[in-house]
Structure 1
Amino acid sequence: MASLASHDYYRDDMTQMPALRSIAQTLCLDKRVRKVTAAEAYALAKSQHDVMDTDLPIYPPAARRLGLPEGATVLNNCHGRIVGRTAKARRFYTRMEPTERRKVEADLREAVYALQRHPLIKAEAILGLDPDLMIKATIVTTEDDAVNVFNWLANFTPYEELAEAYAKSPRLPIPDILVVGFNHWKTTDPYYHNEGGSQLALVDEDANVIFNLGMRYFGERKKGTLTLAWTSGMRLGMAACHGGIKEIDFSGCQAKRDRDMGKRSIAFFGLSGTGKSSHTNSHDNGGTLPAGFSKVVLHDDAFQIDCAGKVCRVWEPTLFDKTDSRPLGHPDWRYMISTMNLALTESDGQILPLGQDVRNPNGRALIDRDLLGTYVNRCSFPDVMVWLMKDTCLPPVVRFADKRLAVAMGASLMTRRNLAENVSEDELKKLVFEPFANPFRVYELWKDVEAFLNVFEAGAVGYAFNSVGFWKTSDREVRKIPLQTSLTLQTALLLEQLEWEEWDLLPGAQLPKRESVERLLPGYAETYDPAAVENHDRYLETLRDRFHQRRVFLQNSDLHHQPELLMGLVNALMIRA
């Protein structure tokens, strides 16, 4: 077996089982909690008051995989005020002082007592599709939350589907994952987050347990479970990646130079709206890949890098994507499994989900991985690592010759909040840092820094793509960076078509030489030259401030517990201007 049940993990001293795991485990083993399959959860979900049936067929291969009846149709689950993640609701048990722990444990026991007044169901899944990295997970929630159980099973893999492979997979020193949901939880205690409704995501990453209280949004179940999987991978010495990765094989191309590139993997790290999925899922990089190439995709959102084995492994067989750019008739709709917070419309006598965020922001769908074309469950180690930044001071592409600068830029990845998150209007306007584009990290930042430093030392080369626009006269008046430009640059990195020169403002960083980039993108050098921007003094002032903010962010993080590591990153972020 892969991960370990509680009894096996703590068998040498059962008193070492943490309180949160004991509470979750006891609930899971209550004989009144009914275990359901994906098909049973789907049937229960149809009767939920907040779930609407549509006439859009569930992608048939996915329906068969989940054991659904012939002709099963997509269910649309709509929520109220909150239609995104709520980071402020998270509480991390392992970081609490003893007095705080005792309070939270008591409150949790009371919440579970209230939960047990409801009919309860549970389901089991396997996280991970590569036989060398599989973890068992169990979810428990109320019967009237069956749609989240169905979506959770569809997002990961029902246990029965991979039971044989799981039984043969290597035994891992990791406990099974336990997830508990209770949508009806209410509190007036100011200790807990109450913006838009009572919400608590209580995490114990050491015990591999998460409680989602007062949280209807499926993204909380998905990302909570995935967070524990990522963390488990970290405990096994792998880098946790909130990103997309694909592998391009050029060996079938006509030109010898292209053929000689062989297979190349490229990974993209960015939050919603930065182009992560667009880069990962693009069929041919906007027509810039040479004829004869072949492509496989691992995933567009989550994977693990194994530096020792020089491979990457995937966790999920589906995509959880926004539908804001998918109008009616878009070819992607044929791959749908389930939708969330979408409007409905009637077309030719059929009730269909309507994307494009007509009803509310952050409409989402679970989509089968067949959308990506040919996919794999493991791929080669990344040759290219791209941070997708929202920083107007950066040109469209920057190469990091200094490995510590590459890690420092990932650890201080700058972005802006977006409507995929449950935050205030003021928060949406602020620049924020999200290390390695992973808001779901629950362990110390220095551990991620060490992990990604290992990735670059193992041979990956780091780059930044600016996905928001490049300075024209100010931070607000910018030159657009079309997606086609970025896709062209992506192909250039894969085929090593660019020559590089030092960026005089940032030691350790490089920009494309004029002649090499102009061959691919005429007018690029004039449009995106940092030395030629208007209002140059203000540009330099803003550039210095942005990198000062990066240094301050890292200095105020837990990296101060690793002073040598911290100083290496801070010194790499010095602007020479």
Structure 2
Amino acid sequence: MASKSSVEYYSNIKEMSPIRAIAETLMNNHLVRKVDIREAYELAKNQPGVSVTDLPMYPEFVKLHNLPADAKVINDCHGNIVGRTAKARRFYHRLSPSLKNKLESDFREAVWQMQHYPLIKAEAVLGMDKDLMLKATFVTTESDAANLFFWLLNFAPYESLKEEYEASPKLPIQDIILVAFNEWTCDDDFYNNVGAPQLALVDEKHNVMVNLGMRYFGERKKGTLTMAWTSGIRIGMAACHGGIKEIDFSTCVNPEYHKLGKRSIAFYGLSGTGKSSHTNNADNAGTLPEGFSKVVLHDDAFQIDLENKLCRVWEPTLFDKTDSRTVDHPDWKYTLALMNHTVLDVNGKLIPYGQDIRNSNGRALFDRSLLGKYVNRCAFPKALVWLMKDSILPPALKLEDKYLAIAMGAALMTQRNRAENVAEEELNKLVFEPFANPFRVYELYRDVEAFLKVADTGADFYCFNSRGYWRESDDILEPIPLNTSLTLQTAILMDQLQWEPWDLLPGSMIPTKESVEAILPGYYDRYHSNLRINYDKYIAVMKDRFQQRKDFLKSSDLTERPEIQEKLIQSLQVNAD
């Protein structure tokens, strides 16, 4: 087996946190009924808020898990909360002893309340590769059966991987426990309250996640996945909230490409930056050579195994927004479950619609077959790409200096926009999400150290601007079409670009005119920094943004690694008068 039970893991049982002890005692209560994916589906269909549509569940998944042959996709609609709530998070190990005691007692009280409801649990395996598997148990009320069913869809029911799991190498990691109780009541200002209290309690050192008063499935998924990512960090791997694919050039029709072999490329970016577009695109807008082969590991979550120079996947499914998928979109074929979708009667059939008609953030669980051919492990990345909407950056930079490369990932940014109705000065402030991972619950320096090792192991780092490049101002931009970025991606994979230093940012490089014009005529002059209108203002904005990056890293927990912190900050120097 892979992860360890508490009895196996704790040589001194007194080292177990009270949070885990409370969760595990609940999990082992004889009144908590264990269910499999088939019973979870039947329970979910009868849950308030759930409707059964006439959209068939993806047939291959139905066969694999022996669900009813006529299984239909269910749609779970929530109330005023249709997304994750960061304000509800409380990090157990960051609190004072008195607040830890408070959380422990409030969790005990919540469990006492829970036990007045019919309770169910299910077991899953996190990790699809035989050498990286963790066992997880989810305990909740019968009234939360839809989320338990979705959780089994999102990961893998234990029974489906039992043989592989039990043959998997033992890891120095505890099994994961997830506890959820939607009906929690508590009148306390310490907790986030939106008409009812909410708590997302994180105990990352003991692999426990607790959701109280939170119905949204994304809390269950990302809470569990957060424990998996953190477990990977604890055993020396790099946690990746990103997409990665592997291109095999040895199958190309033209034999001159065979020497390129297999090459993988990973993309890290916040919502709307193009992470899925880059990962999932079938042929990079027709720029990949005829006969290539492609496999996708995942478009959202994986782990880089530095010791074995491999990437490994955690999940067999995708949890996607559906705002851009019309009712006739081919992706619906792969649907397993829906959240917060409009359902309409179409000629006597109940048909779900995407496009966020009912509310924002409509979501679907899709089978990974949507990606085409997929694998559970792939090659160590040749290239890692930070995707940023920063108007002062050219479309593509190669980050030759490793400290600059990691500093740009650690200070990965986004911006407010006018649609958010914020003051003008707020529009100039960058919002940082290191390595595009809002689910990091451990110290930032751990990610920094992990990605420095990725650089030392041989990966190249790049930065793509997916917003638009300054033409006259921060609002009047030179467009950067997706097809341009996809063409650059192919050029990187195929070694078609030569690079020259970008004088404005020492340690970074831009494509040479000769090499980039061969594949994108007109690119060099269109995107050369010297040709920006209102150049002085452009430089002033650039300096301000890089100063904000430095200030962010100065204020982070990198202070615990002062030598690394200083090298990262020094790498972010703009070279302009």
Q: State the TM-score bracket (shorter-chain normalisation).
A: over 0.9
Cα distance in 1, alignment partners of residues 345 and 528 from structure 2? 50
Q: Contact 2:334–2:367 (CA<8 Å) still a contact in 1?
A: yes
Q: Name the stretch that deviates more: 39-48 or 475-484.
A: 475-484
Equivalent residue number for residue 126 of structure 2:
127
Residue pairs, 1:54-203, within 5 angstroms = 54-195=53-194, 197-203=196-202
Q: Residue 520 of structure 1 aligns to a residue in which SS?
A: coil
What letter corresponds to residue 6 of structure 2 in structure 1?
S
Equivalent residue for 1:2? 2
Counterpart residue identity of residue 7, structure 1: V
1:414 corresponds in structure 2 to: 413
Which one is further off, 528-537 or 248-257? Answer: 248-257
Conservation of the 8 A alpha-carbon contact between 1:81 and 1:196 = no
2:430–2:548 contact (8 Å) kept in structure 1: no
* Whole-angstrom distance in 2 between the partners of 1:188 and 1:424: 31
Normalised to the residue count of structure 2, the TM-score between the two structures is 0.97
2:486 aligned partner: 487
Q: Is the 8 A contact 2:430 2:545 kept in 1?
A: no
Letter in 1 for 2:379: S
Query: CA 1:425–1:15 in 2, change beyond 3 Å: closer, same or farther?
Result: farther
Q: Secondary structure at the match of 1:324?
A: coil
Q: Distance in 1 between matches of 2:476 and 2:113?
A: 54
Deviation at 1:347, TM superposition (A): 2.8
Displacement of 1:67 after TM fit? 2.6
Alignment of 1:316-465 (within 5 A): 316-416=315-415, 426=422, 431-465=430-464
- For the residues of structure 1 that align with 2:445 and 2:326, how far apart are their CA atoms? 42
* Counterpart residue number, 1:571: 570
Q: Identity of paired residues, percent?
A: 61
Kindly tell me: are residues 294 and 417 of structure 1, through their superposed partners in 2, closer, same or farther at Cα, counting changes over 3 Å? farther
Which deviates further from its counterpart, 340-349 or 206-215?
340-349
Give the equivalent residue in structure 1 for 2:285: 286
Q: How many Å apart are 1:571 and its aligned residue? A: 0.5
Aligned partners of 1:77 and 1:339 also within 8 Å: yes
Task: Name whichever of 64-73 and 147-156 sits farther off.
Answer: 64-73
User: Do 2:252 and 2:291's aligned partners in 1 also have CA atoms closer than 8 Å?
Assistant: yes
- For residues 199-253 of structure 1, give each alpha carbon's deviation from its aligned partner in whole angstroms, at most 9, with x where no partner exists: 2110011100010111111111000000000010111110000001000000122
1:362 match: secondary structure:
coil
Partner of 2:23 in structure 1? 24
CA–CA separation in structure 2 for the residues paired with 1:438 and 1:543: 24
The AA in structure 2 aligned to 1:92 is: F
Instruction: Give the match's secondary structure for 2:260.
Output: coil
Q: CA deviation at 1:294?
A: 0.2
Question: Which residue number corresponds to residue 544 of structure 1?
Answer: 543
How far apart are the structure 2 equivalents of 1:171 and 1:444? 25
Question: Is this contact kept in 2: 1:413–1:433, CA < 8 A?
Answer: yes
Please say which of residues 402-411 and 59-68 is displaced more in the overlay: 59-68
Contact 2:40–2:149 (CA under 8 A) maintained in structure 1: yes
Give the aligned CA root-mean-square deviation in angstroms: 1.6
CA distance in 2 between partners of 1:194 and 1:507 (Å): 47
2:517 paired residue number: 518
User: Deviation per CA, 1:232-291, whole angstroms, max 9, x where unpaired?
Assistant: 011111000000100000012233442211110000011221111111111111111000
* Aligned twin of 2:314: 315
1:13 positional shift: 1.6
Paired amino acid for 2:350: I
> Could you list the runs of 5+ residues in structure 2 that have no partner in the other structure?
none
Q: What residue ranges of structure 1 are gaps of 5+ in the alignment?
A: none
Query: 2:505 — aligned with what?
Result: 506
Helix, strand or coil: the match of 2:536?
helix
Instruction: Determine if contact 2:222/2:439 at 8 Å carries over to the other structure.
Output: yes
* Aligned equivalents of 1:195, 1:531: Cα separation in 2: 51
Contact 1:66–1:154 (CA under 8 A) maintained in structure 2: no
CA distance in 1, matches of 2:195, 2:298: 33
Q: Deviation digits for residues 451-508 of structure 1, max 9, x if unmatched?
A: 0000011000000111112112221222222111111111111001111110110000
Correspondence for 1:269: 268
Per-residue deviation, 1:417? 6.6
How much does 1:526 deviate?
Answer: 2.4
Alignment of 1:230-241 (within 5 A): 230-241=229-240
Secondary structure of the residue aligned to 2:113 is helix
**Distance in 2, Cα, partners of 1:145 & 1:110:** 19
Amino acid in the other structure paired with 1:103: K
Moved more, 512-521 or 487-496: 512-521
Distance in structure 2 (CA, Å) of the matches to 1:483 and 1:186: 48
Structure-2 separation of matches of 1:190 and 1:472: 48
The total of aligned residue pairs comes to 573
Deviation at residue 336 of structure 1 after TM alignment:
0.3
Secondary structure of the 1:251 match is helix
Secondary structure in 1 matching 2:250: coil
Alpha carbons 1:38, 1:67 under 8 Å: kept: no
1:297 corresponding residue in structure 2: 296
Q: Give the TM-score normalised by the residue count of structure 1.
A: 0.97
Could you tell me which amino acid in structure 2 is paired with residue 3 of structure 1? S
Task: State the secondary structure of the residue aligned to 2:567.
Answer: helix
Paired AA for residue 535 in structure 2: H
Structure 2 equivalent of residue 306 of structure 1:
305
Structure 2 match to 1:557 = 556
Q: How far apart in 2 are the matches of 1:196 and 1:576?
A: 52
Q: Deviations over 1:415-440 (max 9, x none)?
A: 1479xxxx986499663100000010
CA distance in 2, matches of 1:107, 1:324: 38
Does the CA-based 8 Å contact 2:323-2:356 persist in structure 1?
A: yes
Structure-1 separation of matches of 2:355 and 2:138? 31
Q: 1:206 corresponds to which residue?
A: 205
Question: What's the secondary structure of 1:327's corresponding residue?
Answer: coil
Once residues 285 and 448 of structure 1 are traced to their aligned partners in structure 2, the CA distance between those partners, rounded to angstroms, is 30
> How far is 1:64 from its partner?
2.1
> What code does the residue aligned with 2:164 have?
A
- Aligned residue number for residue 220 of structure 1: 219
